[in-house]
Amino acid sequence: MQNQDSKKVNKILIIGKGGREHALAWKFASDDPKTEIFVAEGNAGCELVPNVSNIALTEIEDLVGFAMQNKIDLTVVGSEELLVKGIVDKFEANNLKIFGPNKQAAMLEGSKAYAKDFMTKYGVKTAKYQNFTDYAAALKYLKQVTFPVVIKASGLAAGKGVIIAHNNDEAETALADMLLGMVFGDSGSEVVIEEFLEGVEASILSFTDSRVIIPLISAKDHKKIGDGETGLNTGGMGVIAPNPYVTDQINQEFVRDILEPTLHGLKMEKMDFAGVIFFGVMITKNGVYLLEYNMRMGDPETQAVLPLMKNQLFPVINRAIDRKLDSVTLEWDSGATCCVVIASGGYPEKHHNGYAITGLEKFDLADSYLFAAGVSKKHDDFVTAGGRVLNVVAKGSTLDEARNKAYKAINSVSFKDMYYRSDIGKIS
């Protein structure tokens, strides 16, 4: 429910520093231009949004102190690391409104082994798997599997802890790297060996108050660095929304086989929170399977989904925090969006930071949006400061129109060695 006092200026704190946080700031500001928004720690592009300020805070105690001192009305957490560390519990202990899972529920993202056990316990449709902490036991299990298999570091690994092993040698190497070489640190001290599923992936972000789960419009991520889904995995090179593969039938299967048993599990485990559940699913010839839970808004899915959302975000989130999400109906623009990620040359491996970016301040195109990710300022100039640098998003009445607008809009910005895929949203 929207604040009845029209003179009240809402203060919002967004925690994170990528394109997702820029998109959230843009959405809150677009809904209500009077809103005062802080992003911790944000990036230089966030401050292109009116009434947005970055704050250089990263520690939970400092963020709690800032929220109390500045009388923040709502905090939204993008950072999975801080969720796993229990930032929501600390905020709630200080009577601060915050949107995100508590420490217990954040384990559904923080530990893939825990999440898979949760899925099995509550009948969520997912791939067959086994969890291992012992290298010898994991090698023994490889004798029983059919290749390819998926090997995942159980803990948070910045989207990099997933290996598809096509044969025994590749599987043994991945297991040795994780369990013995600790290439992902403690995140790989436990691994999940999982049946490989063939199909089309879909991202279904949703809001929950632990009493209901309301899905947002579906999205399709493009994970690989190269055209045609080739090369190394990345944090995401582009997104379209809605996902054309999520038909009414697929959505019904998702609700029956994944959403409803997940909600039952939340209730049985007494995971009482208001926040996001991001279902990463695989659509196969044998139905819809859950690959993983993320417990926060996706990046870059958020950048494609929010421009289609008709509802104001602040009152929807407040309804969730008040445990009244069942009174909310989400409404969406017709048409589609296409988000193209512009990366630094060499990403996701070695890349160079510090290149000047031109065009950010002047980017103002009809139905197109620019969200900054890896961007900082050097003197008065915007410069690259990460692997994924910019997100160009366009909206159209059709996916083809959105694609064409997005790729045309890319010409408005430039930096040395910029790289992007040319096939985001191209449906065969």
Write down the pLDDT at residue 408: 94
CA 37-39-44 angle, 5° bins: 110
- Cα dist. 188→80, 138, 178, 328, 377 in Å? 17, 13, 5, 40, 35
Alpha-carbon gap, residue 243 to 246, rounded angstroms = 6
Write down the pLDDT at residue 5: 47
Write down the pLDDT at residue 361: 82
What digits encode the pLDDT tens for the residues 90-142?
Answer: 999 999 999 999 999 999 999 999 999 999 999 999 999 999 999 999 999 99
Say which residue, 425 or 158, is predicted with more confidence. Answer: 425
Average pLDDT over residues 49-70: 96
Flag whether pLDDT at 16 surpasses 70. Answer: yes
Say which residue, 200 or 156, is predicted with more confidence. Answer: 200
Alpha-carbon gap, residue 267 to 271, rounded angstroms = 6
Write down the pLDDT at residue 159: 65
Which pair of tokens denotes residue 391? 């997100």
Write down the pLDDT at residue 183: 84
Which pair of tokens denotes residue 114? 């825990």
Name the amino acid, one letter, at 103: K
Write down the pLDDT at residue 7: 65
Average pLDDT over residues 66-95: 96
- Domain architecture of the chain: domains with CATH: 11-103 (3.40.50.20), 128-195 (3.30.1490.20), 200-327 (3.30.470.20), 338-419 (3.90.600.10)
- Whether residue 244 has a cis bond before it, omega within 30° of 0: no
Average pLDDT over residues 397-406: 96
Average pLDDT over residues 47-64: 96
Alpha-carbon gap, residue 78 to 254, rounded angstroms = 25
Instruction: Give the predicted TM-score (pTM) of the model.
Output: 0.95
Write down the pLDDT at residue 3: 47
Flag whether pLDDT at 306 surpasses 50. Answer: yes
238, containing H or E segment: strand 238-241
Flag whether pLDDT at 2 surpasses 50. Answer: no
Q: Where are the beta strands (DSSP E) in 345-407?
A: 368-372, 375-378, 381-384, 388-396
353 band by pLDDT with thresholds 50, 70 and 90: very high
Write down the pLDDT at residue 1: 43
What digits encode the pLDDT tens for the residues 169-194?
Answer: 999 999 999 999 998 888 889 999 99
Alpha-carbon gap, residue 279 to 65, rounded angstroms = 32
Which pair of tokens denotes residue 247? 């038909």
Flag whether pLDDT at 72 surpasses 50. Answer: yes
Average pLDDT over residues 259-287: 97
Write down the pLDDT at residue 186: 86
